[in-house]
Each structure stands twice: as C-alpha cells, then as structure tokens.
Amino acid sequence: MVRPAYEDDLRDIMQIYNLAVLETTGIWNDAMTDMEERHAWWLKRVAAGYPVFVADVDGEIGGYGVYDRFRPYDGFSRTVEHALYTNPRYQRRGVASAILEALIAKAQEDGYHVMLGGIAAENEPSLALHSKFGFIETGRLPQVGHKFGRWHDLVFMQKMLSEA
C-alpha cells in the first residue's frame, strides 16, 4: 500500500496538496502549486535522499508523506520534520496511519534521532493520530499562522526514534 512516489504520482500529489491549500489549515499557504513546481519539489527531495511516500489504494493515491531536515544547521542534522496529507476520500481509513508508520520506519532506518510534526492546534484528528504513534506535544506556539482570515496556533509533536 505505501511505496515511494513515482513521477507518475505527481499529479495526484499536486491535487491533494492544492485541496489542502484551499480547504484546510493543514498547510499554511495560500498559493496552489502546479506540475512544474511539484516536479522540482520531488526531484529535490529524491536527490537529497529524503522519502516521498504515497499510499496506493487500488491504483489511486490516497495520500502522501515526506520528511526533511528540521533546520539547516549541523546541530539539527539528526532531526527531521515530517508532513502528511490525505485525499479526503481516504480520511479515517488507515491511509494516514500507514504513511506515518512508513515515515517513522524510514527515519529510524536512516539513523535519525527525533521526528517532529508541526500541526494546527484545531486539527484534532492529526493530533490524535500522532499520539497513537507515540508522539508527544513538546510545544505550542500561539497565533503564529494566519489563514482563512484568522490566527492559528501551531502544536509541535515529537517522537524519539532512537536512544540518546
């Protein structure tokens, strides 16, 4: 079900992203993307060795997930921040769980120590999903994001991937 994304998946990934931009606080961005940008985004991640996973549900992309270095400084080289988005038709059907499980396993395999997720405080399903996978809330930043004409709090959730 979960596999690395292929170039042929980019249109579906773009559509999931754009829907999240238009309808959710899952992405604090107002600008939709296009195929040229998504292709460059994918190539950059693949070249850097970071995963782009998709959930393939009977030939349809049910969601996608990625992780990348948390900050561009040496001291953060073993910490990654992930993002995961689902097609609304596949929400609450195990797709996000499968993607998150694959991201965690890949990050552990790659030797990362910590995985972070930045989640809009009102996104209770995502907060619950992350708690289910052992993430704990480690920070709450009030009113740092603005979308849909209102301010939003950002919750950082963290999972230890290895022993200190």
Question: To 10 degrees, what angle do helices 35-48 and 10-23 make?
Answer: 110
Predicted pLDDT at 99: 98
Residue pLDDT, tens place only, 21-55: 999 999 999 999 999 999 999 999 999 999 999 99
95, 62 Cβ separation under 8 angstroms: yes
Q: Check whether 113 has a pLDDT greater than 80.
A: yes
Average pLDDT score, the chain: 97
Tell me how far apart the alpha carbons of residues 52 and 88 are, in angstroms, rounded to a whole number.
19
Distances (CA, A) of 15 to 115, 134, 148, 150: 26, 30, 20, 25
What tokens appear for 82 in the block? 């992930």
Predicted pLDDT at 91: 87
Predicted pLDDT at 148: 97
Predicted pLDDT at 93: 87
Q: Where do we find the tokens 């030797």?
A: 111
Q: Write the DSSP assignment of 94-130 as a string of letters.
A: THHHHHHHHHHHHHHHTT-SEEEEEEETT-HHHHHHH
Number of residues that make up the chain: 164
Q: Mind listing the domains of the chain with CATH numbers?
A: 2-160 (3.40.630.30)
Sign of CA dihedral 93, 24, 8, 101: negative
Kindly report the pTM of this predicted structure: 0.95
Q: Check whether 95 has a pLDDT greater than 80.
A: yes
137, 146 Cβ separation under 8 angstroms: no
Residue pLDDT, tens place only, 45-84: 999 999 999 999 999 999 999 999 999 999 999 999 999 9
